[in-house]
Amino acid sequence: MTLALRDPVLLETRAFVAGRWQAGTTTFDVRNPATGDLVARVADLGVDAMREAIDAAALAQKDWAARTAKERCTVLLGWQALMLEKADDLAEILTAEMGKPLAEARAEIVYGASFIQWFAEEARRVYGDVVPGHQRDKRILVLKQPIGVVGAITPWNFPNAMIARKVAPALAAGCAFVGRPARETPLSALAMAVLAERAGLPPGLLSIVTGTDSKALGLELCTNPKVRKLTFTGSTEVGRILMRQCAHDIKKLSLELGGNAPFIVFDDADLDAAVEGAIIAKYRNSGQTCVCANRIYVQQGVMEAFTDKIAAATARLEVGNGRDPGVAIGPLIDGAAVEKVEAHVEDAVRLGARVIVGGSRSALGGNYFQPTVLAGVERGMRILEEETFGPVAPLVAFESEDEVIAMANDTEFGLASYFYARDLGRVWRVAEALEFGMVGVNTGLISTAEAPFGGIKSSGLGREGSRHGIDDYLELKYVCMSV
């Protein structure tokens, strides 16, 4: 498969390790989820390369931290500008390796670049404190200093933005960064590294180590004492493994894990707005985001009207190759993902749910699944208990506010949640009662660099974005000065 890139150099297949492009001795295939076509063969590196990257990062970080915040800001803004300038090429690469519709891929590039801009600006506002002394001869200072070398492990569903959301605060804070992208989607991260080098990031400060042995590469990041922080986005199951592996060194951790977002439609909602929000919250990235609406609760009095509207809107979603104009639902990442979605639908139907739209694999075959609306979904069905990570909207009826709050909170996860209502008292009560890190009120799209993205309970630790996001890459130092 040949990509039509204006800047073909961006399709880099070597790993970026310690300031050098390394081809390694073996490669692994990256295939297009839409067609199965080979996109590229990428360097398959191992633990030796990871150690080399970490060693180089530790050296480069000292000088980077010694630069002024304005100097770091300037380099990062140059990188951001290059990402935007090359957005079309970066989107082509992203869609080829991950499958999302081209318009969504381009939006992801802009989203990723917004984190680099945001934290470039935040770099210059990392303020410490001067505290009134506790004794006449004491002066108290609080310094904020970069934590050091940061390791990152990122998933396939946002192969640009999940790197950007981590590397931006890390570099802005004065840290160094060693990233290991998912085997399915390494090309977006490598293209970002090409642009980082062009932007003037010092050699060794940023490494992207590609390889199929995710366990060994991850273990090195977790256990190498030079790595002072690990940031991970992916499943809760893997997050637990990484957390255990980091325990020996007491590494600082940021974990963006799984979700099971409720989407609640009250009887005082603007139903057309609620349907628009549900379509975005459910079907963005073909349902493969951790903040997708996984459960849709509709108050009984508006269930029929809402079902008709969301069914009509879902039926209009075109399924196909993400490169084709007008496609809203691309392929899922692989066959296992399709099998999981299919199993959730089959389980729900077996237990009494009704298919209103879709309900099975697309006639296109391969990794395509029809956007689906299920009615009559009830507790005990897998589709409510587990994260589907696919284009299926399960509708659950409820009667009262208290009932739906209890159902919405009845999950180990606590990442995103959404509800539509217009009564002011209800909006306050529900927003405060939902046990999630993020609440969308009358909107189905909440992710932005300005806001703290993250969850509670089994959805993870820490926040990415906002003025809070850089704190996870800093250490506080208390200086008590006797004068």
Ligand X SMILES: NC(=O)C1=CN([C@@H]2O[C@H](COP(=O)(O)OP(=O)(O)OC[C@H]3O[C@@H](n4cnc5c(N)ncnc54)[C@H](OP(=O)(O)O)[C@@H]3O)[C@@H](O)[C@H]2O)C=CC1
Q: Does 157 bind ligand X (CB under 6 A)?
A: yes
Q: Does 182 bind ligand X (CB under 6 A)?
A: yes
Q: Which residue has the tokens 């603007």?
A: 270
Query: Residue 59 or 110: which CB sits closer to ligand X?
Result: 110
Contacts of residue 178, defined as CB under 8 A and 6 or more positions apart, other chains included, come to 50, 53, 54, 57, 149, 150, 151, 152, 206, 207, 209, 221, 227
Q: Does 155 bind ligand X (CB under 6 A)?
A: yes
Query: Residue 109 or 153: which CB sits closer to ligand X?
Result: 153
Q: Does 111 bind ligand X (CB under 6 A)?
A: no
CA dist 31 → 2, 186, 326, 379 (Å): 12, 11, 23, 38
Query: Residue 161 or 470: which CB sits closer to ligand LO4QSZO4?
Result: 161
How does strand 252-256 pair with strand 460-461?
antiparallel
What order of strands is seen across the sheet that includes strand 138-146?
129-131, 138-146, 474-482
Closest contact distance (angstroms) between CB of 452 and ligand LO4QSZO4 is 12
Query: What are φ and ψ of residue 154, in 5° steps?
Result: -125, 155
Considering only CA atoms, give the Rg of the chain.
23
Contact with ligand X (CB under 6 A) among 233, 372, 447, 458? 233
Residue whose CB is nearest to ligand X in the complex, by number? 218
Contact with ligand X (CB under 6 A) among 44, 122, 220, 256? 256
Contact with ligand X (CB under 6 A) among 62, 138, 215, 248? 215
Q: State the Cα torsion 435-258-188-195 to the nearest 10°.
A: 40
Point out which residues bind ligand LO4QSZO4 (CB under 6 A): 157-158, 161-162, 233, 289-291, 447, 453
Q: Does 218 bind ligand X (CB under 6 A)?
A: yes
- Confirm whether 256 is a catalytic residue: yes
Q: Does 390 bind ligand X (CB under 6 A)?
A: no
Size of the site for ligand X (CB under 6 A): 24
Partner from ligand LO4QSZO4, ligand X, none binding residue 418, C-beta < 5-8 Å depending on class: none
Going residue by residue from 135 to 154, which x/- string records binding to ligand X, judged by CB under 6 A?
A: ------------------xx
Which of the residues 257 through 276 are near ligand X (CB under 6 A)?
257-259
Partner from ligand X, ligand LO4QSZO4, none binding residue 235, C-beta < 5-8 Å depending on class: ligand X
- C-alpha 152/C-alpha 393 separation (Å) is 32
Q: Which helix (H) or strand (E) holds 98?
A: helix 87-98
Which class for 425: exposed (0-12), middle (13-18), buried (19 or more C-beta within 10 A)? Answer: exposed
DSSP code per residue over 306-340: HHHHHHHHHHTPPBS-TTSTT--B---SSHHHHHH
Which of the residues 431 through 470 are near ligand X (CB under 6 A)?
460
User: Quick one: which segment of 122-130, 250-258, 318-326, 424-432 binds ligand X (CB under 6 A)?
Assistant: 250-258
Per annotation, catalytic residue among 12, 104, 122, 256: 256
Residue 435 DSSP symbol: -
User: Quick one: which segment of 88-96, 132-140, 144-152, 252-260 binds ligand X (CB under 6 A)?
Assistant: 252-260
CA dist 84 → 31, 106, 113, 171, 192 (Å): 25, 9, 7, 19, 11
Query: Residue 95 or 458: which CB sits closer to ligand X?
Result: 458
Amino acid making up residue 85? E
The binding site for ligand X (CB under 6 A) comprises 153-157, 182-183, 214-215, 218, 233-235, 238, 241, 256-259, 290, 387, 389, 415, 460
Which residues have a catalytic role annotated? 256
